[in-house]
Amino acid sequence: MQNIDLHLLQPGRTLHHRYVIDNIIGEGGFGITYRGRDELLKVTVAIKEYYPHGVVVRNSTINDDVTVTSMAQSQTFERGKEKFLQEAQIIAQFGDQDSIVNVADFFEENNTAYIVMEYLSGITLKEYIRQNGLIAPLDMLNLTAPIIEALDRIHRNGLIHRDISPDNIMFLDNKKVKLMDFGAARDYTEFGEKSLSIVLKPGYAPEEQYRTKGNQGPWTDIYALSATIYKCITGITPDESMQRVMEDDIKTPSQLGIQIPPRMEQAIMKGLSVRAADRYQNLTDYTADLYADFEEDSQNTQKNQNTQNINHQNNTRTVNPPGNVKRGKRIYLNYGRITTYKVISILKIVIGAIFTYAAISVTLDYFRPYSGKDAADKFIALTLTALCLWLLLNGIKSILYLRRAESYGELFLAQRENDTLTCSDIGKADKKSAKRVKAELRWLLRKKCIYNCRMERSSSKDPNETVILEGSNIVHEHYVKVTCESCGAVSMLAAGQTARCEYCGSPLIVK
């Protein structure tokens, strides 16, 4: 008798009246991935189901619905499902990025959520090196270039992957690579430290991922990417980062007999630093050092050609560094929040316009002669009209301020040599008053749509405040970890920077 895993969707089941399950591809701590068929487009797809093990159960012989195991987990499960679908919406924005798996659809069904992705024909990088042996450092650089470009775009949108490893990079039959499992499922849940261990990949997860309050950022992905490169060129998985905290005896590739250019090796080992503050803080600096050995002056390089020639083991080879990795607007603009507030503002405008029209109509009726309405009814009608009008105007104001965010980001980037500006200086560039600039910037900073800059406090009557551009001096050497004395949470601050703890609000300072 054939064994059936009762928690899996069985072959032949149809989802969303369109996708038919074929078989299971893989299963992780927070999800199950199936191979399926899109009956509308007649193509093979991959279907990812939100299924956090230990939190939900299912008996597919009865029905396909998942059931939360306890009421205590119900609210957390719903939050995780909501974030799972939100993540799918964000991934869909990268549909034009060749090196990121494409999302075709997402929906809720069976009391859970699903993401439909393109089906990738190939093998994982882990399987590739198992079948074909080690990858030469030069070939590894060519292989990772599109992955780095994809990561840079992810980071510029305010996201980090959190689960980079040879398991999550697909080597396709057409010799291209794709980054999979975008936004590790650990980020969608709040099930505590036990669930963290389910998705952490030993050797690829930095120490901050082992802590519920660990400060994660682009440096987290850089560690995982460096560990992936290290594994592919040496065949050895780095020791777990928590073990390396106690005793770090990792060997460099050259110590293991691998012929590797010195700058590339230094970049990999720096990316593998145990302490986040010792690693590269952005992909710009990381790739500059990773590909530094292969940069040559070439007067005959064609316009827009982004390749560089190197001589490796007496053979002329070509390395293709990432073409679009740059600091860009990510230093000052939080695109995730900007998009969120744009959606909220549009909803305010639509709802405000509808209710304002209705409220004005009702108010006019109340104030007609012989309407029979007393003063209290008229006052309530006027108040509701004012509230609806305020909602409409607030939405319009927010849209106008959000449209200004990108202009401010571009202006701040142009001030690389100057870390202070006044509101009047900014206003001159856009022909706006200092008072208006102050109001717009204060709103954007309060909503966290712009970051890495702050405004000095001054009199409310003084419109000409000074804007401090902290982002213009951001380099990884300036960052250190600061532990809050009150709650023990860890933050990354620049030297001399003052801030408050994100969790308890206690003051933090780097001396």
Residues 385 and 416 placed together within one structural domain of the fold: yes
Q: Phi and psi dihedrals of 476, rounded to 5?
A: -65, -25
Does 215 fall in a domain? yes
Taking 70 as the pLDDT cut, the residues of the chain under it are 1-4, 182-200, 295-333, 335, 409-421, 425, 427-431, 451-482, 486-505, 508-511
DSSP 400-425: HHHHHHHHHHHHHHTTTT--EEEHHH
How many other C-beta atoms are found inside a 10 Å radius of the C-beta of residue 136?
Answer: 17
Query: Facing residues of 315 across strands?
Result: 312
Q: Are 487 and 430 in contact (CB under 8 A)?
A: no
Rounded distance between C-alpha atoms, residue 103 and residue 181, angstroms: 11
Does 5 fall in a domain? no
Residues 203 and 322 placed together within one structural domain of the fold: yes
Residues 444 and 317 placed together within one structural domain of the fold: no
Give the pair of three-digit tokens for residue 20: 């038919």
3-state secondary structure 211-233: CCCCCCCHHHHHHHHHHHHHHHH
**Max Cα–Cα distance, the chain, nearest Å:** 100
Residues 411 and 457 placed together within one structural domain of the fold: yes
Does 6 fall in a domain? no
Residues 391 and 275 placed together within one structural domain of the fold: no
Q: Under 8 Å CB-to-CB from 398, ≥6 apart: which residues?
A: 341, 344, 345, 348, 443
Does 394 fall in a domain? yes
Rounded distance between C-alpha atoms, residue 297 and residue 328, angstroms: 25
Residues 455 and 503 placed together within one structural domain of the fold: no
- CA dihedral sign of residues 256, 262, 267, 269: positive
Number of domains in the chain: 4
Report the candidate in 452, 466, 384, 374 with the shortest Cα–Cα distance to residue 420: 466
Three-state secondary structure call for residue 388? helix
DSSP 233-264: HHS-PPPPHHHHHH---PPPTGGGT----HHH
Residues 336 and 319 placed together within one structural domain of the fold: no
Give the pair of three-digit tokens for residue 186: 């650990």
Q: What is the CATH number of the domain that holds 60?
A: 3.30.200.20
Entry pTM: 0.56
**Measured between alpha carbons, how far is residue 24 from residues 48, 165, 180, 196, 478 in Å?**
10, 21, 16, 24, 47
Give the pair of three-digit tokens for residue 262: 């010195």
**Measured between alpha carbons, how far is residue 101 from residues 34, 97, 243, 323 in Å?**
15, 8, 33, 19
Rounded distance between C-alpha atoms, residue 40 and residue 21, angstroms: 14
Query: Facing residues of 389 across strands?
Result: none
Rounded distance between C-alpha atoms, residue 320 and residue 311, angstroms: 14
Residues 434 and 367 placed together within one structural domain of the fold: yes
Residues 138 and 260 placed together within one structural domain of the fold: yes
Q: What is the CATH number of the domain that holds 215?
A: 1.10.510.10
Q: Under 8 Å CB-to-CB from 222, ≥6 apart: which residues?
A: 271, 279, 280, 283, 286
Instruction: Report the chain's terminal Cα–Cα distance, integer Å.
Output: 69
Residues 86 and 169 placed together within one structural domain of the fold: no
Domain boundary (65, 85, 118) is at 118
Q: Are 421 and 415 in contact (CB under 8 A)?
A: yes
Owning domain of residue 284: 123-297+306-326
Q: Are 508 and 482 in contact (CB under 8 A)?
A: yes
- Residue 443: the pLDDT is 82
Residues 113 and 219 placed together within one structural domain of the fold: no
- The one-character DSSP state at 181 is S
Residues 97 and 181 placed together within one structural domain of the fold: no
Which residue matches tokens 């040599």?
Answer: 417
- The one-character DSSP state at 135 is P
| Long-range contacts, stretch 181-187, CB < 8 angstroms, 24+ apart | 182/87, 182/91, 182/100, 182/101, 182/154, 183/87, 183/90, 183/91, 183/159, 185/28, 185/29, 185/30, 185/31, 185/50, 185/52, 185/84, 186/29, 186/30, 186/162, 187/83, 187/87, 187/162
**Measured between alpha carbons, how far is residue 88 from residues 19, 80, 183, 184, 442 in Å?**
17, 12, 9, 12, 32
Rounded distance between C-alpha atoms, residue 432 and residue 454, angstroms: 20
Does 225 fall in a domain? yes
Report the candidate in 259, 246, 161 with the shortest Cα–Cα distance to residue 204: 161
Report the candidate in 470, 449, 466 with the shortest Cα–Cα distance to residue 457: 466
Does 221 fall in a domain? yes
Three-state secondary structure call for residue 39? coil
Q: Are 179 and 219 in contact (CB under 8 A)?
A: no
Does 8 fall in a domain? no
Query: Facing residues of 324 across strands?
Result: none
498-500/507-509 β-pairing: antiparallel
Does 4 fall in a domain? no
- Residue 305: the pLDDT is 44
Query: Facing residues of 311 across strands?
Result: 316
